[in-house]
Structure 1
């Protein structure tokens, strides 16, 4: 063997590739790819979902914003109904029922802001149904 043959690494000496964590130009632990094999998509979602539209529904951020907006609209609507009801008949029960419903809307807004959207939705629906039932059954 000549001196020039001893200085050049051979294909059988993988020491340099092992130091970098690769073998033969590919990442360690990956199987070699057959020639002509098409590349798989980056993720299965990209191939199934056109133009970034997700079929799962709302994102958590969108759900929070939607529930905050719905509770805010209901809060304003309940305030208007409270004023109209107080103009027709002054009663502590009217203030109590609609005041509690407005407080419930505020609680739902805070729950939604803190990420508790499902709990907020159930409270909002249950509270509003209760307020309507009390209005129909209890208030004169």
Structure 2
């Protein structure tokens, strides 16, 4: 095998990564353009989609920090794999909600955040000692 044959997969991987980044940037630009169109069509009816996304990202970020603090407090009082599991999954869920909101899926993110946090609280109350 020649050296040029060995470089081909690496070059394809770099091209694929660049293509994915470009596609993601284009999707974000398209979502922003749609937000601007929506904002001009519906005057003063609640939040604009861009504001809703920012609000959900901020809410999920605050909850992520709060869950981290509660995890540290719970681990200080009682070390358990279940504690790490429940609060770790809730923190991962907050990260997923942040990413969904950044990509324009605010309703889905809201439902996941509410359902996931209620589930985490129920597991904390019912399962954890």
TM-score, normalised to structure 2, is 0.67
Query: Quick one: higher RCO (CA 8 Å, sep 6+), 1 or 2?
Result: 2
Give the distance between the partners of 2:98 and 2:116, measured in 1 at CA.
Answer: 13
Give the distance between the partners of 1:80 and 1:54, measured in 2 at CA.
Answer: 40
Pairing of 1:11-22 with structure 2 (within 5 A):
none
Pairing of 1:1-140 with structure 2 (within 5 A):
54-140=43-129
Question: What's the Cα RMSD here?
Answer: 1.2
The aligned residue for residue 29 of structure 2 is none
Runs of at least 4 residues off by over 6 Å: none
Give the distance between the partners of 1:55 and 1:119, measured in 2 at CA.
Answer: 23
TM-score, normalised to structure 1, is 0.62
Higher helix share: 2
The superposition leaves residues 86-122 of structure 1 with CA deviations (integer Å, 9 ceiling, x where unpaired) of 0000000000000000000000000000000000000
Gaps of 5+ in 2: 1-41
